[in-house]
Amino acid sequence: MEYLSRCLSSVAGDKQFKYHPRCKKLNITHMMFVDDLLMFARADIPSVTALFGAFTKFSLASGLLANFHKSEVYTVGIPDSLSDQIVEQIGIPKGYFPFKYLGVPLTTRKLKFADCKPLIEKIVARVKSWSAKFLSYAGRLQLIKSVLFDVLSQELWRVEFDQSDYLEQSSCCEASMGSFVRL
């Protein structure tokens, strides 16, 4: 995967390539996580073609191929005609926002509590099952302090809450913590 990363990073030197507007400052052309690859470029044919060419170079050298039936191209803020040209040029179907990645909805707007509620409910359900099976009282307290509150506070600071969302989140957290902490 190091070679793939180098191929995709080297495309930045191509005069045809332009960064996605939100990625230029950090020189981001791609992100990888396990077996997923996200590639970013300005939504124009030369940039997308250059980025896809770097990926093709890697594929030819390594013999590893992407499953284009599971791949999608996401475009925002451009005319449908240009979006259709990009899709046709690289042969990957068009995807639409919002979509979920690793259980988190990705949208073109700031997330709201309702967007994250299913993920929060899954976390709460999993923690409840841990508490009953594996953790002592002290272990449950430590889990709350060191993991859950840190994760929720770091990840949910980006989420917009209105008053009713805040009350719902509070009751959700209180319900899940009730099995952990008894005062």
Taking residues 116-130, report their average pLDDT. Answer: 76
The pLDDT of residue 143 is above 80: no
Task: Give the domain-ending residue among 62, 96, 130.
Answer: 96
- Mean pLDDT taken over the chain: 78
Note whether 42 and 85 are same-domain residues.
yes
* Residues 73 and 158 occupy one common structural domain: no
Percent of the chain with pLDDT over 90: 29
Tell whether 161 is covered by a domain: yes
Q: Which domain holds residue 26?
A: 2-96
Number of structural domains found in the chain: 2
pLDDT at 177 over 50: no
Q: How far is residue 3's CA from residue 32's CA, in Å, rounded to a whole number?
A: 13
Same-domain status, 26 and 73: yes
Q: Taking 90 as the threshold, does the pLDDT of residue 47 lie above it?
A: yes
pTM over 0.85: no
Q: What is the pLDDT of residue 41?
A: 92
| Shared-domain flag, residues 87 and 10 | yes
**77 and 128 share one domain:** no
User: What pLDDT score was predicted for residue 117?
Assistant: 82
Domain boundary among 68, 96, 124: 96
Same domain, 87 and 140: no
Residue 142 pLDDT more than 60?
A: yes
Query: Do residues 19 and 85 both lie within one domain?
Result: yes
